[in-house]
Structure formats: structure tokens, C-alpha cells
Chains A and B, each alone.
Chain A
Amino acid sequence: MADSSQSASVEISQPPQDAVTNVTFAPVPGDYSLLVSSWDAKVRIYDTAADQLKGVHEHKHAVLDCTFLTDSQKCVSGGLSTKVLGYDFVAGEESVIGHHREAVRVLRHQKSTGLVLSGSWDGTVKAWDTRTKTCTADMQVDGKVYVLDVTDDRVVVGTSKKQLLIYDSRNLAQPQTTRDQPLKFQFRCLRCFPDGKGYALSSTEGRIAWHYFDQSAESQANEYAFKCHRKTVDNVETVYPVHALAFHGIHGTFASGGGDGMVSVWDGRVKKRLWKIPDLKSSVSSLSFSADGTRLAISVSYQWEEGFKDDPPPNQLIVRTLEDVDVRPKEATA
């Protein structure tokens, strides 16, 4: 089912040289700038509408995550350098915002507070004021930080010990709730619902959990986890990690990308898949919807699921133009 329908999938012509770790569209509707971090120690910004490389922020070490601030001018990135670095693409200025003791694995920008949250393998999450370059909160967690996301009023952190800590962003000293083993296998990606009511969490074992913050029995009853990104290879059911999740900001549907080179778009509320793109050349490492929800950026890079490979497939950045009907929840179309 090669779902390469007429809707345009455009491949960016100058992709990074090494594996892509993250792609993020600018948070402003109508701005199709795409921020891309890579193991080749660069953060690039592309104008995807014109297929143009607009700027490069060079690190000394591989970059594991990046995020825009309020618009596509400024970004924050971090990685193996252990530093949280800010960059202004217009001024071409780098600023060191702060440090961790080990690599910075995840970075998210919280719009409501303007803070940037960084999670590291050193077992801490730090909140940064990017203007004053000060650390406003330093949260110790048990285990390495693998996943992190924010809503307007919460910070959610997932660790290598398979714990999920949910903080109230007004009080980052103590987690509001802690959840043990929401999934039984290593966490790969966490994204909160656009409405801030819950989150989707994916693991290395081809599974995604759909959870709510609300602890009432009613909400909890609607929680579930489902299997995905599995296929049968030579008669063996093969389970791939789900590396990437991305929510559609307007419709609340979400896309998932896995080691099987597939992207699926789901309606989490009615537990239905809307469509899928199969057979990309390698693992899907990251996904991002544009702010207006009309584009989906897909990064395709080998994710080291099976260790070192001499000749990994080439890295690709694909931007797919979406019809509204592609991402609208099922019930609305019916």
C-alpha cells in the first residue's frame, strides 16, 4: 500500500550528513521553517517552502535535540557537548545558556512560561530562562532522562527507569504525580496532547500509550496502549521501536514513526488509524507538524537499533503537504 498519493511529498535537497535527531517546524502559522538537529554536530534551518538551507548553527559535538523559541529566529539546542546552546539565526550569534554533566537528550520550550526545559543523561531536568541564561529549576530524577514534554501548565519527564514524573510548572520542586511503568519497555518519545489533557508515550517495543493527566476514574478508564510499528519479516513478527510522535495542533490527531520506516497517523480518541506512509528507506527518527497543520516533516535516518552499520541508508528529510481530511478526526469526516 504505497500511500504516496498525489499530495506532494517533497524531499529536502540538502539533508544533514549524519543521522537526524530532531525536526521541528516553526511555532508560527504560515512559517514553514524547519529546524533540524543531527549527529553531524549541526543545527540547520531550512525554508521548506523554497527547499532552501537558510542557516547553520555549528556545534562541536553531535546534537540530540533542538527547539525553536517563540519564532523561527531563535533556537535552543543541545547534545553530546553537555551544553544548552542558544542561537540567533538572524544575528548569527551563539550563546551558552547552561550546562549539564552529561549529554543533553531532550529540550522543550514552554510557551506559557518562556522557559526552556532540558533533560539529560545525568539524571536532571533543568529549566532555563534563555534571556538571563539562568537555571530556574534543577530537578533530580531517578535514572537518565529519555523523554520530556511540556504543556502550558505541566512538565512531563520519562526516565530510563521507566518512571514518568509529572510536574506542575508552578512548582518544579516536586513531581505532582509519579507513574511507574506506564509502558514496560524503554521510552522513546513523549508528546502531550495539544489540549494539554494528557500525553502519548511510545516505547522500543512497538507500542504507544494514551494517557490522561486527570486521575478521575472516568478519565483513567479511557486510557489505553496499543501495538503498532510491527511487521512480519520472513515469518517472524518483528517489533520496532516507535521513535517519533507528533500531534496535529489543530485536530489533536497524531503521527507516529518507527524503526520499520513507517509513519502512521492516528485518531487517538476513537482508536483508529487514519492512514500510513509505508516503506521509507530507514527508521523514522522524528516528526513534526507545521503550526498551521498543513505540513508534516519526516526525518528518515538509521537510529542504531541494530548497532553499528557500515553503510546506513542515506538520511532524508521529507515534507509532506497534507489535506485537511488527512488529519481530521474520523468522527468529523463521517
Chain B
Amino acid sequence: MSYCTARVCGSPRFSSASPCPRSSLPLSSQLQLELQLPPRREGRGTGRKKRKADVVKPFCYYCDREFDDEKVLVQHQKAKHFKCHQCHRKLDTATGLVVHMLQVHKETITKVPNALDGRDNPDVIVHGMEGVPAEFLHDRGDKGGAPGGGGAGGGGAQPNGMPVVPPMMPAAVPTPAMPSAFPFGGAYPAMMGGFMRPTMPTMPMIGAMGMVPRLPTPAAGMVPPAMGAAPGLVPPAAAMRPGMGMPGGLGMPPGLTPPGMTAPAQTNGEAAVASAEGGEGRGPRWVYQDEEISPEEKRAQLPQYKYAEAKAAAAAGP
């Protein structure tokens, strides 16, 4: 079985030579076709991770999230970036939203909701993959097409003069395979409402695992990192990848990684906070971690609340 290599469509192809019957690709997607390498598709499971490097997946211009299917991308954009916060009406484009806000609610908006800095200009008309400024596509294309020499799969080398990651870090280098390993376009509703059915199928993380050392996720045993949390909510890898054309390289200042930061913070809240503040966190950060004691009990220890006194009085009491 082979699949449409354009990846925006993902539908089965009838023959490898004919164009995909489903994806009547817009101009921007033709660029993707140029970028992709000759198709070699053996079964979906094993091919998955390789294809990732070959082609640009549809991604949301506003928040840089990747999608398997452009239809889902459009849904995402309508829900996240083109929705009116007042009446929850979903518009088709950012300009549509601007006009709606102005006409219906008499409100002027200057930024696309939930968009990354520098990409929140509502005058840029983006719908799905249409209208994405060419430099963003090219940057992604270059990145994706870069030959990842023998085994250097996890994002390849650091291009664009980014500082070399300290030797202790490689295991934690964000892997571009991660977010897209999330298999379903259907992941979308899970993200929207945050609801998770117990019967969620096991993520095919194996592909990514083979290539990238397992991430040192804190408490990996407690919350499977693949359970849609990270990939479902945000593509950490995609957002962090350098050289993606984000102005200013988004949150990757040189030398950002304080040593010892990868240590899983398990025991107390302060440690967790410290480790997460570096911005390099893998896996979720628990704001409150203590299991045996509640925040109220901690607070009650402050001298001003005189809890010890009250307890002593109660013990002596009536």
C-alpha cells in the first residue's frame, strides 16, 4: 500500500506515478512536492519515521504545530486562531476574524489569537497551508531535507551556527519525530477539550525510539509521555527546532542549558520549578508535586498563622 506523498492528504495512492486523487494541492503544497525525495513506501509503520525527513508536513503557520492532515490543520486553525472569543463563531481566516470582531462586536484586534510572536499579524492571509509565506516553507523544507548523516537522526546537527549542545544533553535534544509520531488526525478532539478516552490506542512511538535515545522524562512511569500530552498540546520539537525561520530563533538563547537541568525533579516542588525554569524541560512539569502533604498544610506552618499554638490548645482543650 502506498500513500500520497504530498502528506497533506495522506490518502492511499492508486499508482505511484499518478497524482494523488485527493489532494488538489494549492500552490504552496507544490513546493512540498518538489522537496520530497522519490517515494519509497513500504508499510506505514516502518516508513513513518523516514518519510518525516523527506517532506514538509502540513503545519500551522500561527503556532507551528504539525499535522498529518491538512483538513485537521484547517480545523485547528479555525478553533484556535480564527475563533471569536466572544461568540465562539469560527471564521475562515484571520482577516475574517478581524472583520467579524469589528462589525459584530466593535472590537479591534491586532493579533491573531494564540499565535507565536512575529506570526500574529492578522493581515497575513493563511488558510491551512495556503498563504504561508515562502520563507517559512523553505526553512522547513531545508530542515526536513537536510541529509541526516548516519544515525544523527534526532534533528540532525545544529545548523545556523546554533551553539553546540553540551555533551550531557544529546539525549534531550528535541526530536522532530516526536510530535508527528502522534498518529491520528483524530488526536485533534482530544486536544481541543483535553479529554482522553481510556481506550486510546498505544502510540507507535517505536519508530522514534529506534532513532533517538529514550528521553529522560521525569516520572515516565507515572504518566506515559506519549499519551498525547506533549504531542497533543504542543509540538515541543517543532517549536524548539532552530533555524526554522522563526525571527529571533524563539526562546533558544545561546547557552540556555544550565547544567544538571535534566535531572528529573521528583521530590519537591522547588526542585521541579528550578528544573523547568530552564525552558528545556522534557515531559511535563508538575507545579505541585508533594503527595503526602497539601499546600494548605505547608502554609499553615507559617508562624503568622499560629497553627502549632491552636493545635496545642486543642490537645489541652475541653
Contact = CB atoms under 8 A, between A and B. Distances in A.
A254 interface: no
B279 A236 contact: yes
Contacts of A235: 234, 236, 239-240, 251, 279-281
A119 to B, nearest CB: 12
Contacts of A146: 294
B196 A241 contact: no
A99 B286 contact: no
A273 B194 contact: yes
Interface in B196-251: 196-198, 222-223, 229-230, 233-234, 236, 239-240, 251
B86 A6 contact: yes
Contact of A234 (B193, B198, B279): B279
A10 to B, nearest CB: 18
Contacts of A204: 286-289
Interface stretch (B45-53, B163-171, B268-276): B268-276
B314 A102 contact: yes
Interface in B102-117: 113-114
B193 A272 contact: yes
A80 B305 contact: yes
A160 B298 CA distance: 14
Given A1-B114, A273-B193, A82 B314 contact: yes
Contacts of B239: 235
Interface string A111-126: 0000000000100000
A305 B299 CA distance: 10
Nearest to B250: A235
Contact of B287 (A3, A225, A305): A305
Interface in B249-285: 251, 269-270, 273, 276-277, 279-281, 283-285
Contacts of A2: 85
Contact of B88 (A4, A61, A232, A275): A275
Given A5-B87, A307-B298, A239 B285 contact: yes
B312 to A, nearest CB: 10
A61 B305 contact: yes
B229 A227 contact: yes
A271 interface: yes
Contacts of A35: none
Contacts of A100: 314
Contacts of A62: 300, 305, 307
B296 A105 contact: yes
B300 A1 contact: no
A160 B310 contact: no
A221 B256 CA distance: 47
Interface string A305-326: 1111000000000000000000
Contact of A259 (B83, B287, B290, B298): B287
Contacts of B273: 306
B294 A160 contact: yes
A210 to B, nearest CB: 10
Given A1-B85, A101-B314, A224-B198, A186 B294 contact: yes
Interface in A167-199: 184-186
B286 A205 contact: yes
A306 B289 CA distance: 9
Interface string A67-108: 000000000000011110000000000000001111101000
Contacts of B314: 81-83, 99-102
A213 interface: no
Given A226-B196, A227-B196, A235-B251, A241 B311 contact: no
Nearest to A161: B292
Nearest to A259: B287
Interface string B166-206: 00000000000000000000000000111111100000000
A281 interface: no
Nearest to A308: B302
Given A204-B286, A306-B287, A237 B234 contact: yes
A99 B318 contact: yes
Nearest to A5: B86
Nearest to A64: B296
A239 to B, nearest CB: 5
Contacts of A232: 233-234
A230 interface: yes
Nearest to B279: A234
Given A64-B296, A160-B292, A238 B196 contact: no
Contacts of A212: none
A240 interface: yes
Contact of B284 (A19, A39, A237): A237
Contact of B276 (A186, A231, A238, A240): A238
B276 A227 contact: no
A228 interface: yes
Nearest to A146: B294
Contacts of B291: 185-186
B290 A186 contact: yes
Most chain A CB inside 10 Å of its own CB: which residue of B233, B273, B294: B294
Contacts of A239: 284-287
7 contacts: A99-B314, A186-B288, A235-B234, A236-B280, A237-B234, A240-B288, A272-B193
**When A and B form their complex, which 4 residue pairs have the shortest distance between CB atoms, in order from nearest?**
A236-B281, A304-B295, A82-B314, A234-B279
Given A4-B85, A226-B193, 11 more contacts: A80-B300, A82-B317, A99-B317, A103-B307, A103-B310, A185-B291, A204-B289, A226-B196, A230-B229, A239-B285, A304-B298
